[in-house]
Every structure is written in structure tokens, then in C-alpha cells.
Amino acid sequence: MNKITHIIFDLFNTLYRFDPERENTQIDAAKIIGIKISKKEINDALNQADKWFAKETAKNSIHLMSEEEKDLFYSNYEKILFNYAGHEISNEQSGIVWNFVKGMKSSLKLFDDASDLLNILKKKKVITCIVTNFDSDGRILSKSLNVPNLVDYVITSKDAGAQKPSIEIFNYSLNFMNAKPENCIFIGDQIETDIKGALKANIKPFLIDRDKIHDEFNECIVINSLTELLKFINLQSN
């Protein structure tokens, strides 16, 4: 394989996690509408609902939605999430849940293995980039994530005028970094938006599967920790 000079990462659930954890926020939101739900139940439901989310956002760009449309979209997401957890809730209840989740003060924190990997890649002089379906521009997101010392570039769907899995956002990123697809790899946690999008752009993808729910997926290499990627980087860089 060719030498890897550039690595593109998805943002949510790949490099960064929510703090407090999404599961805890959803459990607290459920209590407001009188539903008791376990962490395992909500975690399993989140895995399923996120697949729906990926498919829907592949068809409908969030950054093009009005604030009202976003609220309706995310309220619907909550309804689907609770359905996967075995609870049918009304439109009114899903709106209440979304307003609670939306109003929660949360931050994004690097996974420990992400920090380890990014520091090693920095020393290896590998160019790194975050590509995410996000509705603000990359410079603003970069500042809020405080990543300048670890990640070279942050590109959002707003920057590119397209979102994953569209080939346009991947090509935009390659051009922005002055990178060739054969010298680049992509790491993400969503099959529909991340993996299929990278494949369309002829970028070798790796699926990060922290919860080990994609053991049978065989369209690309599946890793359970970002540090597993190091053996592939070493192979490419020799």
C-alpha cells in the first residue's frame, strides 16, 4: 500500500464524545416524561437511532434547515430513539425530550485513545483533518474544540457546501489539504455517511466500532480502538 500522508477523522463518537455522556442525558430526559430506562437500553437504542440519523442526514442537509425544521427533525429523532428503546411516545413528549436535551449544557471531550493517536501522528508529521456534518464553519468549531495543537484542519458541511456521504465533501477536503486519495485514509463510526462516502471518494476507510456492534461488517477494516490504527500506519509508513 501507498505511504499514508493524510488522515481524515469523523468527529462525534470517533475522536470526541459528549460530556455528560449522551446516555445519561437521555435517561434524565426520559424521567421528565415518566419513563424509566436503563443505560444499556438507551445505549442500544442510540446505536439504532444513529443509523437512522445517518441515513436521513445523508438525504437532508442539516445546515440547510431552518431552526424550526431542525427542532422538528431532532424531535422526530427522539421519538425514534425511544421507540427503539421499547417506548412509544407522542409528538408532544418527543418535543419535551428534545427541548431538555437541547438545553443541556454539554461539552465535547477527546477519547483517551484519540489523544494518544493524534499526538503520535503529530510526531510522525502525518497531516490530520476532521470532516463533520456540522452547521457552523470549521474555524469556529476548531476554536470550540481547542484542537489547533492536535489536528491540522477542521472542515464542516457548511464549509464544503455538501455533507457526508456526498463525494463533494471528501473531494473538497482532499483539495483543501492538497492530498491524494491514495495517500489518505478515513476513520469514522457510521457506515452510511462515513464509510460509504469515503469509498465513493476512493479513500480507504476504517470503521471505528467502540461498542463492537459491527463484528460482521466486511466492507472495510473494523477497529475497536483508535490505537489499533497504529499498526496500519506503521505498515504504510515503512
Tell me the three cell numbers of residue 219: 466492507
Q: How confident is the model at residue 235 (pLDDT cuts 50, 70, 90)?
A: very low
pLDDT digit string, tens, across residues 44-57: 999 899 889 888 88
End-to-end Cα distance, the chain: 10
Element at 29 (helix H, strand E)? helix 22-32
- pLDDT of 116 reads 92
CB-count burial class (<10 Å; 0-12, 13-18, 19+) for 221: middle
Share of the chain above pLDDT 90, in %: 66
- Amino acid (one-letter) located at 197: G
Does pLDDT of 42 surpass 80?
yes
Per-domain boundaries in the chain: 6-16+108-237, 21-105
pLDDT digit string, tens, across residues 83-103: 999 999 999 999 999 999 988
Looking only at the bridges linking them, the beta strands covering 153-156 and 184-188 are unpaired
pLDDT digit string, tens, across residues 168-181: 999 999 999 999 99
Q: Class of 6-16+108-237 per CATH?
A: alpha beta
- pLDDT of 211 reads 86
- pLDDT of 136 reads 81
pLDDT digit string, tens, across residues 169-228: 999 999 999 999 999 999 999 998 999 999 999 999 999 999 888 888 999 999 999 999
